[in-house]
Chain A
Amino acid sequence: MSQADLSIHGQVSRTGATEIMTAPTFSVPAKKMAMWLFIIADSATFAGCLVAYGFTRNATPDWPRPFHSITNVAVMTLILLTSSLTMLLAIRSAQRADKPGAFRWTMITAVLGVLFAVLHLREWMGMISEGATLFHNPWGTPLFSSLFFSITGLHLLHVTGGVVALIAVGIRYQGGRYKADDLEIAGLYWHFVDLVWMFVVPFVYLMNLSH
């Protein structure tokens, strides 16, 4: 029985000792497992930030609601969700060995990430021009600004890192140094960044909307 046969057999049945020895943890390759462990650890970081935010918001009277318009955040959400779809298109293309297609969709995803970051910075500049900084908040407690800039900044840092990673992995995949699996792992990270945004938007933006 060849190594490939063992690998396939290992996914179907796990009764034999040989299969147990050859099967990786959760049938996931080591690199992918490492990314999953990173994602789990990073999700604990974001969960900690959001719980700290909830704790502070709950314990602070007259919590400010400074957001008047949701247009910008709606567009940002649309861009990030769409970038997840384009990332999937890149991964599916790579799995079909369509190298040009995979590279093109990866770069489109990176461009959408850059667009998201630009809109994010534009929003930050708007808030800063109104007097909001990390330690000062014109609408009330400075804790609001501190938490807002910290949580959205941490997310923006992840988006920026993701864009750099996508470009690097995309170019190396195009050059033949990386495989489809590597693109899939970069995609896992990008989907995670998208997933975090699904929790940041309602709690940090939408629940602070002025009516």
Chain B
Amino acid sequence: MAAAEVQTHKTGGMGKDVAVYVCLLVLAGIQFVIAYQDISTSQMFVRMLSVALIEGGLALLFFMDLSENRGLRWFVLIFTVAVILGMQYGWTDSFRLIDGVPWAK
């Protein structure tokens, strides 16, 4: 994208920003609806996480302008995924713990 186009985009209308804002409000509303669903904790966790990831992605791409910088986008994505994967050690250990305690079925 040429510099002039970037400048035009940056100083352009707020249409896209408002659209993303409305999307975020709707997604937040969906999370509140999920909270009242009669489902298991694990199902609720998966649904909540999915919606939160979409919300976070939208905020990163459009509010924080990552959609305009490919290099930085990959840097943030790879670094974040590496951190989250590293934390999976804690999660798997958590399940090992719960299977080893007296109340485990």
Contact = CB atoms under 8 A, between A and B. Distances in A.
Prevailing SS type, chain A contact patch:
helix
Interface residues of B, number: 51
A207 B83 CA distance: 24
B8 to A, nearest CB: 11
26 contacts: A12-B2, A12-B3, A26-B72, A27-B71, A36-B76, A43-B80, A51-B91, A54-B91, A55-B94, A58-B94, A59-B97, A78-B25, A84-B59, A84-B63, A85-B18, A85-B21, A88-B14, A92-B10, A95-B11, A191-B59, A198-B59, A202-B34, A202-B51, A206-B32, A207-B35, A207-B44
A40 B31 contact: no
A120 B58 CA distance: 25
Interface in A154-211: 188, 191-192, 194-195, 198-199, 201-203, 206-207, 209, 211
Given A27-B71, A40-B80, A92 B90 contact: no
Can you list the 4 inter-chain pairs with the closest CB atoms, starting with the nearest?
Answer: A202-B48, A206-B35, A26-B71, A26-B72
Contact of A81 (B28, B71, B93, B95): B28
B42 to A, nearest CB: 10
Interface of A: 8, 11-12, 26-28, 36, 40, 43-44, 47-48, 51-52, 54-55, 58-59, 61, 70, 74, 77-78, 81-82, 84-85, 88-89, 92, 95-96, 188, 191-192, 194-195, 198-199, 201-203, 206-207, 209, 211
A85 B19 CA distance: 10
A141 to B, nearest CB: 13
A115 B34 CA distance: 26
A51 B90 contact: yes
Prevailing SS type, chain B contact patch:
helix
Given A92-B17, A191-B64, A202-B48, 19 more contacts: A26-B75, A27-B69, A44-B83, A47-B84, A48-B87, A51-B87, A51-B91, A58-B98, A59-B94, A81-B25, A92-B14, A95-B11, A188-B64, A198-B56, A199-B56, A201-B28, A202-B35, A206-B35, A207-B48
A202 B33 CA distance: 11
Q: Which of B18, B32, B64, B93 has the most CB of A within 10 A?
A: B64
Interface in B22-70: 24-25, 28, 31-32, 34-36, 38, 41, 44-45, 48-49, 51-52, 55-56, 59-60, 63-64, 69
